[in-house]
Amino acid sequence: MSEARDIFDLSGRVVLIVGGAGGIGRRMAAAIARAGAQVLIADQDSGRCQELARAIADEIGGRLAGLAMDVTQEAGVVQAFAGLGQEYGRLDGLVYNVMAKPSGYYRPFDQYPWETWRRVLETNLGGAFLCCREAGKLMLPAGQGSVVLTASVYGVVAPDQRIYEGSTSAGNIYGGGDPLSCPAAYSASKGGLIALARHLAALWGPAGVRVNCLTPGGVYDGQEEAFHQAYQARTPLGRMAAFTDFDGAAVFLLSEAAAYMTGVNLVVDGGWTAW
Ligand SMILES: NC(=O)c1ccc[n+]([C@@H]2O[C@H](COP(=O)([O-])OP(=O)(O)OC[C@H]3O[C@@H](n4cnc5c(N)ncnc54)[C@H](O)[C@@H]3O)[C@@H](O)[C@H]2O)c1
């Protein structure tokens, strides 16, 4: 029993969560801190990151800090990683949780703006490239590290269009003036992350750095009831995910328990992709 606990222990590790102020990211930050790691929460708004770091530290007593990072700004990303290398002297884990919903995000495919496509790919996938490149500069010389790229079921399978039937523009909780859907740009960016993880796993495996994907299924966030019902009916476990459903998988992939796992896509989707 005590052996099982030890292999999930992250004490002494420094873990950076990019997109760490988001719905899933902030829950993972707390779970990773609870497992003993020093957690750095990076997101666009430094005030929000610092506030969140303080709130989690107050609640669980861990060591957390917040920092600003816009993953589409190369110079800023380079500077942020160099800064944390100087300040902490190590980086043991990187979790990449970023996703963008720029203007035009929910437009139908035949009207999809090029600029929106470009921004989604640049943020979801291009930002992961930049963060991995800079994390590698800290992890490779140390001969160890774990990178976790948060993908999606839509990087694995196509969206079942039937679950969006009955969705309305007015009822789209994410705004944007169009009904809820999964844009092709999102699917392409998430499929790209899975390929990037495999590529880096092979490239960096000999140096002791592991790279994996964590694939969440859809989280219930107050979406329209027709969508919610259709999603639940399509899911073997009979419900949408909670924001905390991915905490265990994130801690696992960062820990010694996953020491022999690299290039894998760990799917946590209630069975969505099982049929
Ligand atoms: N929520 C779901 O249903 C679901 C399902 C499958 C996969 N995912 C994936 O999980 C991850 C987290 O999702 P979430 O629900 O927490 O989303 P979220 O929108 O709450 O979090 C995403 C975070 O990324 C940040 N971000 C956006 N652009 C950025 C930029 N340029 N630089 C830095 N940060 C930026 C946002 O500020 C936000 O905090 C995403 O990669 C998403 O694709 C989510």
Q: What type of residue is 274? A: A
Which residue's entry shows tokens 């970023």?
98
Which atom of ligand 1 is found nearest the CA of 21? 39
Spacing, Cα 21 to ligand 1 middle (Å): 9
Out of 4-8, 41-45, 73-77, 172-176, least confident range: 4-8
Residue 16 CA, chain-centre distance (Å), reads 11
Which residue's entry shows tokens 């917040």?
66
Ordered by where they begin, the domains of the chain are 2-267 (3.40.50.720)
Spacing, Cα 98 to ligand 1 middle (Å): 4
The ligand 1 site (C-beta within 6 Å) comprises 19, 21-25, 43-44, 69-72, 97-100, 123, 150, 152, 216, 218-219
Residue 4, pLDDT above cutoff 60: no
Q: What type of residue is 156? A: V
Residue 260 annotated in active site: no
Strands 209-216, 265-268: pairing is parallel
Q: 190: how many CB neighbours lie within 10 A of its CB?
A: 23
Supply the angle between the helices 127-142 and 184-204 in degrees, to the nearest 10: 20
**Average confidence (pLDDT) over 59-84:** 96
Give 12-73 as a DSSP string.
T-EEEEETTTSHHHHHHHHHHHHTT-EEEEEES-HHHHHHHHHHHHHHH---EEEEE--TT-
Which one from 96, 186, 220, 260 is the annotated catalytic residue?
186
Alpha-carbon torsion angle 102, 106, 110, 114, nearest 10: 0
Residue 139 CA, chain-centre distance (Å), reads 19
pTM of the predicted structure, to 2 decimals: 0.97
**17, 24, 71, best to mutate for ligand 1 pocket (most atoms within 8 Å of CB):** 24
Which atom of ligand 1 is found nearest the CA of 240? 3
Distances in Å between the Cα of 4 and the Cα atoms of 62, 229, 262 are: 21, 38, 20
**Which is it for the CA torsion 167, 172, 177, 180, positive or negative?**
negative
Residue 272, pLDDT above cutoff 60: yes
pLDDT at res. 143: 98
Nearest-CA residue for ligand 1 atom 39 is: 22
pLDDT, tens digit, for every residue of 182-238?
A: 999 999 999 999 999 999 999 999 999 999 999 999 999 999 999 999 999 999 999
Average per-residue pLDDT for the chain: 96
pLDDT at res. 3: 55
